[in-house]
Amino acid sequence: MKKVYLSFFIVVFLIFKIEGQTLGLSIVDSLYQSGNYKEVLKELKKVKPQTFAVLTKQGSIYQKTTNYSKAIIFYTKALQKKESLKVKRELGNSYLAQGNANKAIDVYEEILKKDTVNLLLKFDLAKLYTKEYRKNDAIPLLESLIKADSLNPGYYYELGKIYKNKGATGFMKSGNYFLDAYKLDSTHLKSIYELSKFYKQIRFKDSTMVFIDKGLKINPKSINFNQLKANESYTNKDFQTVLIYLKKLEDLNFKTIFTYKLFGLTYMKLEDYDNAEKYFKKALKKNYDDASLLYNMGVLQKIQGDLKGAEFSFLFSIMSQKPDVDKQYYEIGLINLEQKKLQKAIGNFKESYKNNSNNYYALFQLALATDDFYKDKTIALKHFENYMKRFDSKDKDMTAYVTKRLKDMKKEFFMEGVEIK
C-alpha cells in the first residue's frame, strides 16, 4: 500500500513539475512574440531543468540581439546536452558574426563530416575560405558543388573571383567562369560587372560596353556600372556620354574625387574651361594634394592665361609627388600586428596613410588598430568616420564593418554619456 501511495505522489510531483515548466515556457513564448527579449531571458533562466530546448532558446535570443559571446556559451551548453547539426550551425554562425572566422570554419567542417550533402553550408564554407585567404581550399569545394548542382551560377562566380588573381592563365580562366555564370543567369549582376572589367582589361571594347549596358539595363542606379560607363566613354572620346553618366552619379549622391576629376577632364576636352575649373576645384576640396589633379589644374590655368596660378599648381604638383613608400609602411604595420605590437603598427599605418592619402587599406587598418589599442574610442571614431567620408565605395566588406562599428560606438558613447565633438 505504501508503494502505491509513493507512486501516486511521484506521479503528482512530476505532473506539477511538467505543468510548471509548461507554464513557464508559455509565458516565454508570449514575451518572445512581443519582442521583449530581456524579459524572455529572465523567464528562461527560471525554468528548471535547463534543457536542450531552453538553452538553445537562450542562445538564439543572444544571437538575435548580437550578443554573440553569450550565444556561443548557451549553444555550447545546449550541444553538451544533445547533438544537433542545426544548433551547431548556429554556433558556427555566432563565431563568424563575432569575428572568429577560424572557429566558424572548424565548426562548419565538423558539420560537413556528418552532413556531406549540405550544399548550402558547403557554399558558405567555400566563400569563407576565399575571404580568409584559403583559396586553394575553396577551389575543390566549389568544384564539387558544380558536380552536385551544375545550374547554380553562384558557384562559377566564386571560382571566377578566385582565379582572376592567379596570374595570366588564372585571369583568362576567371573570364570563362564569369561567362558560365552569366549563361546560367543573364541577370547575374556580379558576373556581368566582372565581365565588364574582364573585357576592358583584355581591350575588347565592344564586349566591354555590351556588358556595361546590360548591367545598366538591369540596375540603372548602379554606382559601379555608371562609373564604368563614364570611364569607358571617356576612353572612347565620347565626351557627351561621359557627362550624362557623371551627372547620373552626381544625382545618386556619388560626389567623389573620381566624378569631379572626370567632370573637369571632360569639360577641358570640350573646351568648357569655366566648368572644368569648377569641378577641378571641387575635386581639390576632396584631396588638395592629388599630384595629377594639381597638374591638370595647372594645364587648365595655362590655357586660360593664368600663368602665375599655373606655376603654383605645377609646383604643388611636384611637391605632392611623394616617394611611393606607403606600401612598405603598410606591410610593416601588418607584421607589427602579427607580432602583437599594436603601438608600432599604429605608427606605421599612420606613415603609410601620410605618404599616400588614397591608401584606404592603411586608413582602415589604422582605425582598427587604434580601436584595439586606445581606451579612448574617440580616436578610432575619427579614423572610421574619415574612412566613410572618403572611401565608403571602395570595399564592400570594409565599409560594412565600419558602418556597424560606428553604429556600435555611437550607441556606447550615448550609454556612457560621452560627448562626441
pLDDT exceeds cutoff 50 at 128: yes
pLDDT exceeds cutoff 70 at 13: no
pLDDT tens, position by position, 353-396: 988 888 999 999 999 999 999 888 889 999 999 999 999 888 88
pLDDT exceeds cutoff 70 at 5: no
Q: Counting Cβ atoms within 10 Å, is residue 27 exposed (0-12), middle (13-18) or buried (19+)? A: middle
User: Which residues have a Cβ under 8 Å from the Cβ of 85 and sit 6 or more positions away?
Assistant: 111, 114, 115
Q: How confident is the model at residue 6 (pLDDT cuts 50, 70, 90)?
A: very low
User: According to the model, what pLDDT value does residue 43 have?
Assistant: 87
Backbone conformation region of residue 188, classed left if phi is above 0, alpha if psi is from -120 to 50, else beta: beta
pLDDT exceeds cutoff 90 at 328: no
Please give the model's pTM, rounded to 2 decimal places.
0.68
In order, the DSSP letters of 21-41 are HHHHHHHHHHHHHHT-HHHHH
CA distance 201 to 414: 48
Q: Report the b/e string of 287-311 with b at 16+ CB within 10 A.
A: beebeebbbbbbbbbeeeeeeebbe
On the CB side of 321, CA atoms within 13 Å amount to 8
pLDDT tens, position by position, 260-288: 999 999 999 999 999 999 999 999 998 88
Q: Counting Cβ atoms within 10 Å, is residue 219 exposed (0-12), middle (13-18) or buried (19+)? A: middle
Q: Hey, what's the cell of 227?
A: 562609373
Rounded average pLDDT over 339-356 = 90
Query: How many residues does the structure list for the chain?
Result: 421
Q: Which domains does the chain have, with CATH numbers?
A: 19-114 (1.25.40.10), 117-219 (1.25.40.10), 238-321 (1.25.40.10), 329-416 (1.25.40.10)
In order, the DSSP letters of 342-400 are HHHHHHHHHHHHHH-TT-HHHHHHHHHHHHHH-S-HHHHHHHHHHHHHHHTTT-HHHHH
Would you tell me how many other CB atoms lie within 10 Å of the CB of residue 344? 16
Q: Hey, what's the cell of 286?
A: 576632396
pLDDT exceeds cutoff 50 at 136: yes
Q: Report the b/e string of 245-270 with b at 16+ CB within 10 A.
A: bbebbeeeebebbbbbbbbbbbbbee
Q: Which of 292, 256, 300 is nearest to 274 (CA)?
A: 300
User: Which residues have a Cβ under 8 Å from the Cβ of 385 and sit 6 or more positions away?
Assistant: 406
